[in-house]
Chain A
């Protein structure tokens, strides 16, 4: 399960960011922010190979000593980032993928809300609920 989940706008500012409350929130902000370097690089690398339908899931962005950071980019260049504890070895690639898919679906629902102004931060309870379900449960 994730320790931090973030949604980043096309212009690279955060639309939503949530981390487990037990740890330093700021550190996760920095982790997510620095992971954008790799995301940007991956997107631009794909941009050069024309024609192919881009895979939305970017896989493991970069490993740190303590965390693994995974990325996902929608076709409208909105980025999802999931940070997982390095010690959590039970999590497979497939599970990460399905987490991203769930996140994307819920994000699409948020965007479909006619009262939501795209580009504003996400303040949806439904989205919050989905994210909570994917986070590490802290008793």
Chain B
């Protein structure tokens, strides 16, 4: 009851709708009536008119209308607003009463029915005496009515009925009970709505008319009341704009009232109501800023209106309610589509509401404590004989009194006492928590994680006050880590302190230990003496004793807690606790590291564990253990209290523990990781608490500390070196180490002559020498292309051990595990590996020599596998370039080859190898064409080519006459055998390189001409030239020949001739040329034409003929003598 005293009345919070009463419907026994009623009230959607319907019996008694006051002159109002008024107009006094009556126009007993209907209307009218409520009649008819005007009987009878019932024609309706019921109903209710509107309009007019009778001195309350009523009627009329206007006037009027202690509550209550209505309408009008502004104004105006000091908690409760209901309105508006923002959302209002509830609780605690001894007064001053209050916001013991001083001081006193006693029983914490959780939900939505955490802390604290420690701990524990990760130590410490109290009061050992540890740690901002007290308590728990109570705990709870602790301590077993501290900031810090990121298998693995205590007193511990990823090593990494020397940590000092062990040979190539570190606090006698860190230690704060330390050391590096003591923050953790194989003591040397040449068998000599002191067993060589290079290289590289012949493509690119036997200390071993690279480019070759050897580490015999890798990058080059060309016998380049006419093939071999090359032989494999020389011999036998040198060959070839003249023909291949020229042991195999000869275009010539002439002429000596003209066709050819004169020659022979040559025969022409000038001379031009074959040009023939000849000067007979003389 006390909690709900502040709730807003439901009739205030609902949306006012016109009230229409339906009478004459029997919804229980009459199916037709039931259907009509359902059509009115079931599934009302938003698009239907806002009316609230109610079925009432025909003789229902409506609230009596009081006699209207004719004058306000002597009237003194007793309060602002009657508690029943809103409900009366929402649910009791209808705007319209509708009488349903079953009557068809052609009813046989029309007269009787008409008068019965009139009687019923009269009954309703009487009951509504004095009210402006309208009455309407609906005739339920079985027949579908005819269109208006057609049914003469109907219109006549309707008129009669209206007359007898004293109704206007607009208030008589017909409802045919047919298929389209809902449609008719909707039309009906629209008509009802209009009537209702008119009713509320007249009501507004009526209230307004009172105004002229009022005076400002005695009727202040009425001004507010009337404005409120007008506004409320406007709302019922759905005129929200005007409603808002009147509410605003009412609001300003309510603050103009003379306020004093006795009516403060009434004023505030009404101000709250009106404010609620204004804000609600503002949100409804989608003007949220107006709503917020109104609310702020409201709060600013009312904040200081505390009223009676003894009941100050009431003011806080009221304020809280104001904020809460505004928050709810805001939230409601958001659900209907309003968008809120981070800094303006309902959460703030819920939070403030919670804040005022907390104030209320504080005030209640102060004010009601005084009355602790008093008993509830009798008779109950709050009792109103079950009738409730007459006016909103008045005191039950002095209702309706508006004088400034309370009439009865004694009554006032008992009233206040009763209220205070009631307030004591209010579940404040529950209210606060509910508000806070509302706020949390809002802030979560509007991206305020820190605000959310803060409110959750408050919730946790409230649960603590409400003695629900489990829930308190749950909440506090949840948010703690947010504060820890954000490093707000002050706040974290405050939360931890509350949490520790909860854990103590619940006697939850594990939680208690955890919170103690963190409160002792470096993140705690507690004072030294506090820490000292907590540490003593922690030691007590470890030795199975009951810890001292936390300060500021409720004394009754403390004694309950003490007995709980005693029970816990008495309980045997479950004395071991493991606490994962990685995510906390415990008072013992731990960091561990392997001395090196890798260890050879023949070295002992060393690791160090550093511990440091931050608490005020030394702590001793029983055991320190490191767990590693391979659990077999764990036994070597345990430090245990052996009895004589206790292991203890001094405050602020770093203690280091060293461990070492020998790794297993199976772990070579594997990582060893620290999986956890455990420190055992306490001992066998009491309670064992295992403080455990994952990995290599560290906690929630150490990463940041390390970062800060590194920033610092970067600047003050020299200082660090100079400092004697270990700097804790700059200690780095090394949580894993690699076990790597033993360092091999052998040498692997490679000798070779790079670069390699394509296709050659490239020899790499490997020399392995042992420097071991023991026998190296099981020596194996893996040689070849290093894996992981371009995939194509694998297919173009072949490795073999056999260098006697050229290997084929089946040889692999990597030779794995070639056994080399054993190596005695100092022994040397040589091995040749041959590599054939088919393509050019760089390649990385790997030579991996593996062996095993026995060795001892710290007295333990182990067999180690060692290996040594050598890699070498070898470039492969093309040894030589071969270029081939066809030329005519005149050494002119040929673009096409004539059939059965000799031509030349020229090959040039240009060495690009840095090493001398030995060409052993060359040969031609001809296709289509044949050699013109009977015994084809290589001209390149045993030729040595140095870098950049070129070797050439020339072959005379001819295309046989029978050849089919395709356009192009293949001519064959050129084969070269070669190898690298080495002076010593040049027994490397020969490589045969095949060069494809180019294709040629063949052509037929109809006529072939060639000349026989000496290689040179001499001035003034006869030079016989014989031209042979061959007819290559199957036809007789007529040939015209003419020799053009030349300045350099005289000649004899036929200057112009015409002759016929038979098919496949030859004509010979002889000329005697007589050179006149020395030097290179152009021979006289021979012009040949075939008159029968005009397409054939002389130019084609000219290429067969020599153009020039060298003419030597004339010899002198005297010369011989002059030479002799000389």
> Which A residues fall within an 8 A CB radius of B?
11-14, 17, 25-26, 29-30, 33-34, 36-38, 41, 61-62, 64-65, 114, 117-120
A13, closest chain B residue (CB): B487
Docked pose: A36 CA to B487 CA in angstroms: 13
Find out whether the CB atom of B450 lies under 8 angstroms from the CB atom of A37: yes
Within the complex, which residue of B355, B454, B487, B494 is in contact with A11, where a contact is CB–CB below 8 Å?
Answer: B487
For residue B342, CB closer than 8 A to chain A, the reply is yes
- Known: A29-B490, A29-B491, A117-B708. Contact between A61 and B343, CB under 8 A? yes
Partner of A26, one of B448, B490, B712, B715: B490
Which residues 449-487 of B have a CB within 8 angstroms of A?
A: 449-451, 454, 457, 486-487
B window 412-464: CB within 8 A of A: 447-451, 454, 457
How many residues on the B side are at the interface (Cβ–Cβ under 8 A)? 24
By a beta-carbon cutoff of 8 Å, the part of chain B in contact with chain A is 342-343, 348, 352, 355, 447-451, 454, 457, 486-488, 490-491, 494, 704, 707-708, 711-712, 715
> Shortest Cβ distance from A7 into chain B, in angstroms?
13
B476 CB to nearest A CB, Å: 14
User: Sorted from nearest, which 4 A-B pairs have the closest CB atoms?
Assistant: A13-B487, A37-B448, A34-B451, A62-B343
Docked pose: A13 CA to B417 CA in angstroms: 49
A37 touches B447 (CB 8 A): yes
- Among B342, B490, B708, B712, the residue within 8 A (CB) of A37 is B342
Most chain B beta carbons < 10 A, residue from A36, A65, A118: A65
The smallest beta-carbon distance between B720 and chain A, in angstroms, is 13
How would you classify the secondary structure of chain B's contact residues: helix, strand, loop or mixed? helix
How distant is B1047 from chain A, measured CB to nearest CB, in Å?
Answer: 89
**With A26-B494, A41-B342 known to touch, is A36 a contact of B707 (CB < 8 Å)?**
no
Q: Does the CB pair A41–B447 fall under 8 Å?
A: yes
| Contact A33/B447 with A117-B708, A117-B711 known, Cβ cut-off 8 Å | no
The reply to whether A34 and B711 form a contact with Cβ atoms under 8 Å apart is no
Which of B348, B352, B491, B707 contacts A33, CB < 8 Å? B491
* Min CB gap A122→B, angstroms: 14
Please report the C-alpha to C-alpha distance between residue A91 and residue B1089 in the assembled complex, in whole angstroms. 120
Q: 15 more A-B contacts (CB under 8 A) besides A30-B454, A64-B352, A117-B711?
A: A11-B486, A11-B487, A13-B488, A17-B490, A29-B491, A33-B450, A33-B491, A34-B448, A37-B449, A37-B450, A38-B342, A38-B448, A61-B343, A117-B712, A117-B715
Q: How far is the CA of A29 from the CA of B712 in the complex (A)?
A: 28
* A23 to B943 CA separation, bound complex (whole angstroms): 107
Query: A53–B907 Cα gap in the complex (Å)?
Result: 75
B450 touches A34 (CB 8 A): yes
B353 → chain A, closest Cβ, in Å? 11
Which residue of A34, A41, A65 contacts B352 across the interface (Cβ within 8 Å)? A65
User: Which of A11, A34, A119, A120 has the most chain B CB within a 10 Å cutoff?
Assistant: A34
Cβ of B132 to closest chain A Cβ, rounded Å: 47
Give the distance in Å from the alpha carbon of A29 to the alpha carbon of B711 in the complex. 27
Q: In the assembly, what is the distance between CA of A114 and CA of B487, in Å? A: 25
25 A-B residue pairs with CB within 8 Å: A12-B487, A13-B488, A14-B488, A14-B490, A25-B490, A26-B490, A26-B494, A29-B488, A29-B491, A30-B454, A30-B457, A33-B454, A33-B486, A33-B488, A33-B491, A34-B448, A36-B450, A37-B447, A37-B448, A41-B447, A61-B343, A62-B348, A64-B352, A114-B715, A117-B715
How many inter-chain contacts with C-beta < 8 Å in the A-B complex? Answer: 60
Of B342, B449, B457, chain A has the most CB atoms within 10 Å of the CB of B342
Contact B454 A118 (CB under 8 A): no
A64 to B451, CA, bound (A): 12
Question: What are the residues of chain B within 8 A of A11 when measuring CB–CB?
Answer: 486-487, 704
Closest to A114 in B: B715
Measured CA separation A14–B491 after assembly (Å) = 11
At the interface, is chain A mostly helix, strand, loop or mixed? mixed
CA distance A38 to B352 in the complex (A): 18
Looking at the assembled complex, report how far the CB atom of A31 sits from the nearest CB atom of chain B, in whole angstroms: 9
Q: How far is the CB of B347 from chain A (nearest CB, A)?
A: 11
Contacts of B457 in A (CB 8 A): 30
Whether B450 lies near A118 (C-beta < 8 A) is no
A30 touches B491 (CB 8 A): yes
Inter-chain CA distance A30–B712, complex, in Å, is 30
In the complex, what residues of B have CB within 8 A of residue A117's CB?
Answer: 708, 711-712, 715
Q: How far is the CA of A121 from the CA of B488 in the complex (A)?
A: 12
Complex CA distance for A34 and B448, rounded to whole angstroms:
8
Taking the closest CB of chain A, its distance from the CB of B481, in whole angstroms, is 14
Please determine whether A13 and B451 come into contact, CB atoms closer than 8 angstroms: no
Q: Which of B451, B487, B711 has the most CB of A within 10 A?
A: B451
Q: How far is the CA of A31 from the CA of B198 in the complex (A)?
A: 55
A30 vs B490: C-alpha distance when bound (angstroms):
10
Q: Known: A13-B488, A30-B491, A33-B450. Is A38-B708 also a contact (CB below 8 A)?
A: no
Q: Which residue of B lies closest to A65 (CB)?
A: B352
Of A14, A36, A37, A114, most buried by chain B (CB within 10 Å of CB) is A37
Chain A residues positioned under 8 Å from B487 (CB to CB) = 11-14
Residue of B nearest to A30 (CB): B454
Residues on the A chain within 8 Å of B454, using CB: 30, 33-34
Quick check: A37 and B355 within 8 Å, CB to CB?
Answer: no
Task: Report chain A residues within 8 Å CB of B708.
Answer: 117, 119-120
Are B488 and A65 in contact, with the CB atoms below 8 A? no
Whole-angstrom CA separation of A121 from B181 in the bound complex: 79
Q: Which residue of chain A has the shortest Cβ distance to B458 in the bound complex?
A: A30
Contacts of B450 in A (CB 8 A): 33-34, 36-37
Closest approach, in angstroms, between the C-beta of A25 and any C-beta of chain B? 8
Chain A's nearest CB lies how many Å from the CB of B478? 16
Question: Would you give the shortest CB distance from A24 to chain B, in whole angstroms?
Answer: 11
Tell me, in angstroms, the Cα distance from A64 to B708 when the chains sit together: 36
Chain B nearest CB from A52 CB (Å) reads 21
Q: Chain B residues near A17 (CB, 8 Å)?
A: 490
A119 CA / B712 CA spacing, docked (Å): 10
Instruction: State A65–B343 Cα separation when bound (angstroms).
Output: 13
The smallest C-beta distance from A43 to any residue of chain B, in angstroms, reads 13
User: Residue on A with the closest CB to B486?
Assistant: A12
Whether A119 pairs with B491 at a CB distance below 8 angstroms is no
Enumerate chain A residues within 8 angstroms of B448, measured Cβ to Cβ.
34, 37-38
Question: Which B residues touch A14, using CB under 8 A?
Answer: 487-488, 490
Question: Please, how many angstroms separate the alpha-carbon atoms of A65 and B352 in the complex?
Answer: 8
Inter-chain contacts of A30 with B (CB < 8 A): 454, 457, 491
Q: Please, how many angstroms separate the alpha-carbon atoms of A71 and B397 in the complex?
A: 52
From B355, B449, B451, B491, A65 is in contact (CB under 8 Å) with B355
In whole angstroms, what is the CA distance A41 to B448 when docked? 9
Complex Cα distance A36/B451, Å? 9
Query: In the assembled complex, which residues on chain B have CB atoms less than 8 Å from the CB atom of A13?
Result: 486-488
Chain B min CB distance to A138 (Å)? 20
Q: How far apart are B728's CB and chain A's nearest CB, in angstroms?
A: 15
B947 to chain A, nearest CB (A): 62
**B317 vs chain A, min Cβ distance (A):** 16
Q: How far is the CB of A94 from chain B (nearest CB, A)?
A: 22
Give A85 Cβ to nearest chain B Cβ, in Å.
15
Given the contacts A26-B494, A65-B355, A117-B711, A37 and B451 also touching, CB distance less than 8 Å:
yes
Given contacts A36-B450, A65-B355, contact A118 B490 (CB under 8 A): no
> How far in angstroms is the closest Cβ of chain A from B80?
28
Is there an interface contact between B342 and A118, defined as CB atoms closer than 8 Å? no
Bound together, the chains give a CA A17 to CA B487 distance in angstroms of: 13
Contacts of B715 in A (CB 8 A): 114, 117
- A114 to B480: give the CA distance in the assembly, Å: 35
A14 and B492 alpha carbons, distance in the complex (Å): 13
Q: A127–B708 Cα gap in the complex (Å)?
A: 21
* Chain B nearest CB, measured from A33 CB (Å): 5
- B956 to nearest A CB, angstroms? 80
Distance in angstroms between the alpha carbons of A12 and B485 in the assembled complex: 10
Considering only CB atoms, which chain B residue lies closest to A66 in the complex? B355
Nearest CB on A from B991, distance (A): 66
User: Taking the nearest CB of chain A, how far is it from the CB of B346, in angstroms?
Assistant: 14
Query: How many angstroms from the CA of A7 to the CA of B224 in the assembled complex?
Result: 52
Q: Which residues of A contact B494 (CB under 8 A)?
A: 26
Chain A residues with CB under 8 A of B486: 11-13, 33
